[in-house]
Chains A and B, each alone.
Chain A
Amino acid sequence: MKALWAVALAPCLVALTFAASGVAALLGDRPLVWRARPVTLSEAIANRDQGEVVRQVGTGVSLDGRYDVYDVIKRGRHTPATPLEAAIATREDYMFELGLAYGAHLGPDNARGLFCLAEAEKATDIRDALREKFGPQDCAGVTLPW
């Protein structure tokens, strides 16, 4: 009889853990296991978290602000960035497009800085798209955000 627990232990432990987590998720909208941690808009972009970007923009967070990004762009470091700069850090064109689609400002005033950041981060698709829209940019004397 004593040996039964050895067979049932692991399945029961896993099931109980996720049942407790499931109850917390169903009743309090907060699962105990693998819950989403709060992030800034730029962190959401850096994490390629499109749904979170849309949610935050929907609540009124500006796509043109500068927000802290922790442990994504630079491991273990705080790196303030605008959402478009964070998108460049991902090197993913679709994240840059997402920012623009939901209202991020892109004009002659910030195109040069973004172009030079894309050049430095080797985000070639984004760099090429910026060059196509605003022409070649001179990066001499441009201060990069990180």
Chain B
Amino acid sequence: MAAWALGLVFAIGLAGSVYRIPIQVTDALETIERSLTVPSLPASFASGIGNSASMLRPLREVRTKLLVEIGDALGGRYDAAFRGYHALCGVVLVLLFVGMTSARTWTDVTALAFALAVLTGMHTFSGMFREAYPTNHFLTITTYAMVTCALGRSRGGWLADVAAVACLVVSLLTLESGVLVFVVAVAAAVAGARGISRPALGVMALVLAGYAFFRVGYLGLHTAGLGEHATGLWAAQLSPSEQVARFGANPLPLYVYTVVMSGLSVLLSQPSAGQWTVAEAWQHGGLSPVFVVEMGSSALTTALIAWYAFGRDTAGRRRWRDPVVAVFAAVLVTNAAVSWAYAKNEIIGTAGVFYALAAFAAARAWLQQPTSAEAAAGKPPRWPAGAAVALLALASTAWAVRDAGLHFKLRHTAFVSRSEWADVLRPNERDRWPADPRRLGVVSRLKAEAVATPVPPPAQMPEWGESWWGEE
């Protein structure tokens, strides 16, 4: 009960900040307008299959269409539909996380408080809530990956099998990173979780193969390649043209760098989107507290997870075989691998969530270990030494600071998203307004709702905020 209450407290705070972000214009308005031109949900699905040379994301179109229709049903309250959906997804993810920890004792709940701060304080987590296109598909994939992991650890049955296959299908048709759902199912099974049966795993493999054939063999879609997005390299950021100039002949070194650094960023909070911003700050003499807090908390937590993974359980088995650890490792590697073309914090967001789950298992074990005196006396586990608790308290406090930073960043995002609407339907550019009355009506309504949301400008935010939580 205490665990669910704690989760709800985190979830409500997240929902409150996410809901107040207006619908963004970039990467969202175009999709919303496109949904107005198709007559039905099946037509949206069909349009999502053939509207891109590199992406197969029909369920993104369907979700958008559905939310527009919900907005219509609410009397033109599109903001409530889209932002409410995003906030609700955040609540679901946090509560799913709580459910997966199965926290029951006070020690468990303490470890959960720490893990929830890790979850919400991760730099990869904010990306899933700071952007919406007009829904955030990285968040969708992460949610389905969590559901699949929970199914794998369940008692199983045909319902679990069907649900696992459905999670994979929905994920693959939402975003290419949907492959992570399959990885989660396999990793959980390999680690001994038997909730998803072998036949179901076989069906999932067939679904994945069918998806690959449909995407590459039938539709002939290509994947993201060199120079399609900016990405970091050491202390710098490379623009698409710079990538082509430097790696056009052989992009492999850049791809390897991006994969390795994407994985490392989950463990150390650096580099950020491939760029070692800490090095850049150091070079310019501006090493602000954000780097100490972020890298320090991540280093401590990664060390804690490593201690847990390489330790032994009460039966003497290495704990890296614990499904939570095994799934985290598999997701980290795969999630980093799918980031090969360019690094972006939200792409690696799924691994960030499983990192927090591993942090929970490690923190719980850390709090349960006996003091050396107790162990020598053969007493049962009671409480660790003060220094051990103090160390976890230090990490926990640092993560709490980062959690507050999530809300600071979400306020900034709200300001940016609201500002974008000033360029839409400018009174002095009426010749560029949509001619279609329905489209004009929806865009006008979206703009009115976006600017009606009161949002503090950066000038009203604390000046020290950027030092402690970063610029974005």
State the A residues within 8 Å of B (CB). 1, 3-4, 6-19, 21-26, 29, 31, 33-37, 44, 47-55, 58, 72, 98, 100-103
Is there a chain A Cβ closer than 8 Å to B14's Cβ?
yes
> Main SS of the interface on chain A?
helix
CB distance from B463 to the nearest CB of A (A): 12
Main secondary structure of the interface of B (DSSP, over half): helix
Q: Is B290 an interface residue (CB 8 A)?
A: no
* Shortest distance from the beta carbon of B401 to any chain A beta carbon, whole Å: 8
Q: Mark B439-460, 1 if CB is under 8 A from A, else 0.
A: 0000000011011101111111
Which listed residue (B6, B15, B448) contacts A15, Cβ 8 A? B6
* A–B Cβ pairs within 8 angstroms, 12 of them: A7-B389, A10-B396, A12-B113, A22-B13, A22-B16, A35-B454, A35-B456, A44-B457, A47-B458, A51-B418, A54-B447, A102-B426
**Contact indicator B427/A103 (Cβ below 8 Å):** yes
Instruction: Evaluate contact between B400 and A54: CB separation under 8 angstroms.
Output: no
| Listed residue (B106, B110, B447) with the most chain A CB atoms within 10 angstroms of its CB | B110
Residue in A4, A16, A23, A103 whose beta carbon sits within 8 Å of that of B110 in the complex:
A4
CB neighbours of B389 from chain A (8 A): 3, 6-7
Q: Given the complex, which residues of B lie within 8 Å of A4, measured CB to CB?
A: 106-107, 110, 367
> Which residues from 95 to 129 on chain B have a C-beta closer than 8 Å to any C-beta of chain A?
106-107, 109-111, 113-114, 116-117
Task: State the CA gap A137–B40 with chains docked (Å).
Answer: 59
A15 contacts B110, CB within 8 Å? no
Q: Which of B232-240, B274-282, B315-323, B402-410 is the interface stretch?
A: B402-410
Contact B16 A47 (CB under 8 A): no
> B393 to chain A: which residues have CB within 8 Å?
6-7, 9-10
B451 and A58 contact, CB distance less than 8 A:
yes
Cα–Cα distance between A15 and B16 once the two chains are bound (Å): 12
- Are A47 and B9 in contact, with the CB atoms below 8 A? no
Q: Is the CB of B110 within 8 A of A7?
A: yes
A36 interface neighbour in B14, B19, B455, Cβ under 8 Å = B455
B456–A19 touching, CB < 8 Å: no
